[in-house]
Structure 1
Amino acid sequence: MLRSLFIQNYALIEKLDINFGTGFSVITGETGAGKSIILGAIGLLLGQRADVKSIRRGAPKCVIEARFDIAAYNMQSFFEDNELEYEPECILRRELYASGKSRAFINDTPASLAQVKELGEQLIDVHSQHQNLLLNQEGFQLNVLDILAHNDKELDEYRSLYAEWKRLERSLAELIVRSDQNKADEDFVRFQLQQLEEANLNEEEQETLEQEAETLTHAEEIKAGLYKVEQLFAGEEVGILSAMKDGLAALLAIQKVYLPAGELAKRMESSYIELKDIVQEVSLQNEKIEFNPVRLDEVNDRLNLIYSLQQKHRVQTVKELLMLMEEYRAKLDDITSFDEQIAELTAQRDTIYNKVKKQAVALTKKRAIAAREVEQQMATRLVPLGMPNIRFQVEMGMKKEPGTMGEDTVSFLFSANKNGTLQNISSVASGGEIARVMLSVKAMIAGAVKLPTIVFDEIDTGVSGEIADRMADIMQEMGQRDRQVISITHLPQIAARGIAHYKVYKQDNDTETNSHIRHLTNEERVEEIAHMLSGATLTEAALNNAKALLKS
Structure 2
Amino acid sequence: MLSSLTIQDFVIVDKLDLHFAPGMSVLSGETGAGKSILIDALSLCLGARADASQVREGCERANITAVFELNPAAKAILDEQSIDCSEGEMHLRRAIESNGRSKAYINGTPVPASTLKELSETLIDIHGQHAFQTLAKPGEQLRLLDDFGQHGDLVQATTQIYSRLKNAEKSLKQAQSSQEDRAARLENLQWKLDSLSKVAPKAGEWETLSSDFDRLSHGAELIEGTQHASDVLSQNENALLDQLTQVIEKLSHLSTRDPALEGVVKTLSEGEILIREASYDLGNYLKHSDLDPDTLAEVEARMSLWHETARKLRIQPETLHTEMESVQAEIKGLEEGFDVEKLQKELAAARQAYETQADLLSTARKKAALALSKRVTESMQTLSMQGGVFVVDVAKGEPSAKGSDNIEFRVAGHPGVTPQAIQKVASGGELARISLAITVNTVESTPVPTLIFDEVDSGIGGAVAETVGRYLRLLASNKQVLCVTHLPQVAAQGHNHFQVSKDISAQTTRSKIVQLEAKARVEEIARMLGGQVITEATRTAAHEMIASANG
TM range (shorter): 0.5 to 0.7
Give how far 1:541 is off. 2.6
State the secondary structure of the residue aligned to 2:453. strand
Change (3 A) 1:75 1:336: closer
Change (3 A) 1:342 1:130: farther
Which amino acid in 2 is paired with 1:524?
Answer: A
Quote the Cα distance in structure 1 between the aligned partners of 2:155 and 2:475: 27
Quote the Cα distance in structure 1 between the aligned partners of 2:474 and 2:64: 30
Give how far 1:457 is off. 0.7
Q: In structure 2, what is the equivalent of residue 364 of structure 1?
A: 362
Give how far 1:100 is off. 4.2
Alignment partner of 1:548 out of 523, 533, 544? 544
Q: In structure 1, what is the equivalent of residue 445 of structure 2?
A: 448
Q: Is the 8 A contact 1:182 1:335 kept in 2?
A: no
Q: In structure 2, what is the equivalent of residue 80 of structure 1?
A: 79
Give how far 1:347 is off. 6.0
Change (3 A) 1:396 1:528: same
Q: In structure 2, what is the equivalent of residue 432 of structure 1?
A: 429
Give how far 1:416 is off. 2.6
Quote the Cα distance in structure 2 between the aligned partners of 1:122 and 1:535: 39
Q: In structure 1, what is the equivalent of residue 486 of structure 2?
A: 490
Q: Is the 8 A contact 2:393 2:410 kept in 1?
A: yes
Quote the Cα distance in structure 2 between the aligned partners of 1:523 and 1:81: 48
Q: Is the 8 A contact 1:432 1:463 kept in 2?
A: yes
Q: Is the 8 A contact 2:63 2:95 kept in 1?
A: yes
State the secondary structure of the residue aligned to 2:33. coil
Q: In structure 2, what is the equivalent of residue 518 of structure 1?
A: 514
Residues 188-227 of structure 1 mapped to structure 2, 5 A cutoff = none
Change (3 A) 1:138 1:505: same
Q: Is 2:471 the counterpart of 1:474? A: yes
State the secondary structure of the residue aligned to 2:494. coil
Q: In structure 1, what is the equivalent of residue 141 of structure 2?
A: 141
Comparing 385-394 and 166-175, the one that deviates more: 166-175
Change (3 A) 1:48 1:163: farther
In our comparison, the structure showing a higher alpha carbon Rg is 1
Q: In structure 2, what is the equivalent of residue 379 of structure 1?
A: 377
Quote the Cα distance in structure 1 between the aligned partners of 2:541 and 2:99: 51
Comparing 409-418 and 535-544, the one that deviates more: 535-544
Quote the Cα distance in structure 2 between the aligned partners of 1:393 and 1:504: 39
Which amino acid in 2 is paired with 1:138?
Answer: P
Change (3 A) 1:336 1:141: closer
Q: In structure 1, what is the equivalent of residue 154 of structure 2?
A: 154
Change (3 A) 1:136 1:175: same
Q: In structure 2, what is the equivalent of residue 538 of structure 1?
A: 534
Q: Is the 8 A contact 1:68 1:90 kept in 2?
A: yes
Q: Is 2:414 the counterpart of 1:417? A: yes
Quote the Cα distance in structure 2 between the aligned partners of 1:454 and 1:99: 32
Q: In structure 2, what is the equivalent of residue 459 of structure 1?
A: 456
Give how far 1:356 is off. 3.2
Structure 1 vs Structure 2 CA RMSD: 3.1
TM-score, reference length from structure 1: 0.66
Q: Is the 8 A contact 2:149 2:368 kept in 1?
A: yes
Quote the Cα distance in structure 2 between the aligned partners of 1:177 and 1:144: 42
Give structure 1 stretches of 5+ with no counterpart: 187-332
Comparing 170-179 and 520-529, the one that deviates more: 170-179
Residues 94-243 of structure 1 mapped to structure 2, 5 A cutoff = 94-166=94-166
Q: In structure 2, what is the equivalent of residue 203 of structure 1?
A: none
Give how far 1:479 is off. 0.6
Q: Is the 8 A contact 1:496 1:549 kept in 2?
A: yes
Give how far 1:95 is off. 2.0
State the secondary structure of the residue aligned to 1:96. strand
Quote the Cα distance in structure 1 between the aligned partners of 2:332 and 2:69: 62
Change (3 A) 1:404 1:48: farther
Give structure 2 stretches of 5+ with no counterpart: 187-330
Change (3 A) 1:520 1:350: same
Change (3 A) 1:100 1:175: farther
Q: In structure 1, what is the equivalent of residue 265 of structure 2?
A: none
Quote the Cα distance in structure 2 between the aligned partners of 1:123 and 1:374: 24
Residues 60-79 of structure 1 mapped to structure 2, 5 A cutoff = 60-70=60-70, 75-79=74-78
Change (3 A) 1:62 1:349: farther
Change (3 A) 1:175 1:539: farther
Quote the Cα distance in structure 2 between the aligned partners of 1:31 and 1:179: 74
Q: Is the 8 A contact 1:124 1:451 kept in 2?
A: yes
Give how far 1:185 is off. 9.8
Quote the Cα distance in structure 2 between the aligned partners of 1:487 and 1:363: 35
Q: Is the 8 A contact 2:9 2:62 kept in 1?
A: yes
State the secondary structure of the residue aligned to 1:447. helix
Q: In structure 2, what is the equivalent of residue 18 of structure 1?
A: 18
Provide Cα deviations, 1:241-298, integer angstroms capped at 9, x if missing partner: xxxxxxxxxxxxxxxxxxxxxxxxxxxxxxxxxxxxxxxxxxxxxxxxxxxxxxxxxx
Q: Is the 8 A contact 1:179 1:338 kept in 2?
A: no
Q: In structure 2, what is the equivalent of residue 54 of structure 1?
A: 54
Quote the Cα distance in structure 2 between the aligned partners of 1:465 and 1:180: 77
Give how far 1:498 is off. 1.1
Give how far 1:109 is off. 2.4
Change (3 A) 1:172 1:39: farther
Change (3 A) 1:513 1:336: closer
Give how far 1:31 is off. 2.2
Quote the Cα distance in structure 2 between the aligned partners of 1:8 and 1:176: 66
Quote the Cα distance in structure 2 between the aligned partners of 1:440 and 1:349: 44
Give how far 1:480 is off. 0.9
State the secondary structure of the residue aligned to 2:122. helix
Change (3 A) 1:547 1:163: same
Which amino acid in 2 is paired with 1:20?
Answer: F
Q: In structure 2, what is the equivalent of residue 4 of structure 1?
A: 4
**% same residue:** 34
Change (3 A) 1:402 1:508: same
Give how far 1:340 is off. 3.2
Give how far 1:466 is off. 0.5
Q: Is 2:507 the counterpart of 1:508? A: no
Quote the Cα distance in structure 2 between the aligned partners of 1:533 and 1:474: 20
Which amino acid in 2 is paired with 1:549?
Answer: M
Quote the Cα distance in structure 2 between the aligned partners of 1:515 and 1:453: 24
Change (3 A) 1:499 1:176: same
Change (3 A) 1:334 1:95: closer
State the secondary structure of the residue aligned to 2:499. strand
Residues 200-349 of structure 1 mapped to structure 2, 5 A cutoff = 340=338
Give how far 1:66 is off. 0.8
Q: Is the 8 A contact 1:149 1:366 kept in 2?
A: yes
State the secondary structure of the residue aligned to 1:340. coil
Provide Cα deviations, 1:503-536, integer angstroms capped at 9, x if missing partner: 1122222332222211122222222222212222
Change (3 A) 1:394 1:60: same
Q: Is the 8 A contact 2:5 2:17 kept in 1?
A: yes
Give how far 1:168 is off. 6.0
